[in-house]
């Protein structure tokens, strides 16, 4: 619907209780706009304590959550990854980041 949803890392001393920004944004969007598809997710980072020296890429848990949202909405989610030299890498689908996602079909086998 054109809404921009922001997410930020939510750290917690009791690891792994924190949440990454990607999951915070997706869970918020899913709660607030349950019938609206996510078209694009842009991932970037900044730090006051160290230099970002590589492309900002989602962790495995975030990739799985993004893949499940994509599967649920039956529409690809484009992923924009920010690099330190201000270039943007574009994945046209979460499948490009997680080609062998864990899915509900695998649970039915057990």
Active site residue 22: yes
pLDDT of residue 37: 96
How far is residue 67's CA from residue 97's CA, in Å, rounded to a whole number? 9
Domain limits of the chain?
37-107
Question: Tell me, what DSSP letter sits at residue 88?
Answer: E
Average pLDDT over residues 85-110: 86
Asked whether residue 109 carries a pLDDT value surpassing 70, the answer given is no
**Whole-prediction pTM value?**
0.86
Catalytic residue among 22, 68, 87, 105: 22
* Homologous superfamily, domain 37-107: Cytidine Deaminase, domain 2 (3.40.140.10)
Instruction: For 16-56, write each residue's pLDDT tens digit.
Output: 888 999 999 999 999 999 999 999 999 998 888 988 889 99
pLDDT of residue 65: 96
DSSP states of 31-81 as a string? HH-TTS---EEEE----SSS---S-----HHHHHHHHHHHHHHTS--EEEE
């Amino acid at each position: 619907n054109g809404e921009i949803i922001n997410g930020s890392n939510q750290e917690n001393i009791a690891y792994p209780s924190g949440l990454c920004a990607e999951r915070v944004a997706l869970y918020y969007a899913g709660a607030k706009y349950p019938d609206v598809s996510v078209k694009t997710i842009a991932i970037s980072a900044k730090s006051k304590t160290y230099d970002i020296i590589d492309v900002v890429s989602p962790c495995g848990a975030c990739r799985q959550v993004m893949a499940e949202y994509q599967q649920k909405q039956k529409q690809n989610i484009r992923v924009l990854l920010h690099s330190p030299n201000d270039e943007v890498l574009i994945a046209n689908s979460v499948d490009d980041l997680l080609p062998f996602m864990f899915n509900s079909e695998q649970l039915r086998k057990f």
